[in-house]
């Protein structure tokens, strides 16, 4: 089985993916890290030098490659991945894939992201928590139609990592 973690940045995809991978003895791959390794450039450098269209094409290419060649995998997608190139349809049509939406509220995401802006190019320019909340709200409104197509939804607000993993395992098995 391939478990695909979907959600907005800072929803817990990478952190929970690693923990879940250890618990289930599955490999863990963060799609953005995988792309960076294969392209020998950071995601932000790919955006700067080759543009978003190039990045989105590569994102779909590597997603397909991972879905074809892997089993017993936890795959964490970038926050935008489900929203482009029919990637959600792709996930829904692969028989051994379970998509999991890690859902976090706007206040939770603001709290998690406000001190990470320098490492997140998408929000690096946002100066106040209020503007960050507005930005996240707009993005979530646009992206939630894709995120909500996931087979499983887990809310991550005000929960310990262990409790989220336990809830997820119960829903999976």
95 marked as part of a ligand binding site = no
143 marked as part of a ligand binding site = yes
137 marked as part of a ligand binding site = no
d(CA 44, CA 124): 11
Does residue 101 sit in helix, strand or coil?
Answer: strand
32 marked as part of a ligand binding site = yes
45 marked as part of a ligand binding site = no
15 marked as part of a ligand binding site = yes
56 marked as part of a ligand binding site = yes
14 marked as part of a ligand binding site = yes
Return the C-alpha torsion angle 118, 124, 128, 130, nearest 10. Answer: -120
Does residue 67 sit in helix, strand or coil?
Answer: helix
Here the tokens at position 88 are 């959600």
d(CA 137, CA 13): 19
DSSP state of 158: T
Among 28, 31, 2, 6, smallest CA distance to 17 is for 28
76 marked as part of a ligand binding site = no
C-alpha distances (whole Å) from 143 to each of 20, 121, 138, 160 are: 24, 18, 9, 25
Stated as kind and residue range, the H or E segment containing 96 is none
Residue 76 — φ and ψ, nearest 5°? -95, 120
Binding residues for ATP: 10-15, 120
Binding residues for substrate: 32, 56, 79, 143
Binding residues: 10-15, 32, 56, 79, 120, 143
Binding residues for Mg(2+): 14
């Amino acid at each position: 089985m391939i478990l695909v973690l979907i959600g907005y940045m800072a929803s817990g995809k990478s952190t929970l993916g690693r923990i879940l991978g250890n618990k289930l003895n599955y490999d863990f791959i963060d799609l953005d890290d995988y792309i960076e390794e294969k392209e020998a450039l950071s995601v932000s450098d790919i955006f700067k030098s080759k543009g978003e269209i190039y990045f989105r094409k590569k994102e779909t290419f590597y997603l397909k490659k991972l879905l074809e060649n892997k089993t017993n995998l936890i795959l964490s997608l970038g926050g935008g991945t489900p929203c482009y190139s029919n990637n959600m349809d792709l996930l829904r049509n692969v028989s051994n894939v379970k998509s999991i939406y890690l859902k976090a509220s706007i206040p939770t995401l603001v709290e998690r992201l406000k001190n990470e802006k320098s490492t997140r190019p998408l929000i690096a320019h946002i100066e106040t928590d209020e503007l960050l909340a507005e930005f996240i709200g707009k993005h979530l409104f646009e992206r939630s139609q894709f995120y909500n197509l996931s087979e499983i939804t887990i809310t991550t607000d005000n929960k310990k990592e262990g409790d989220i993993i336990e809830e997820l395992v119960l829903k999976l098995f």
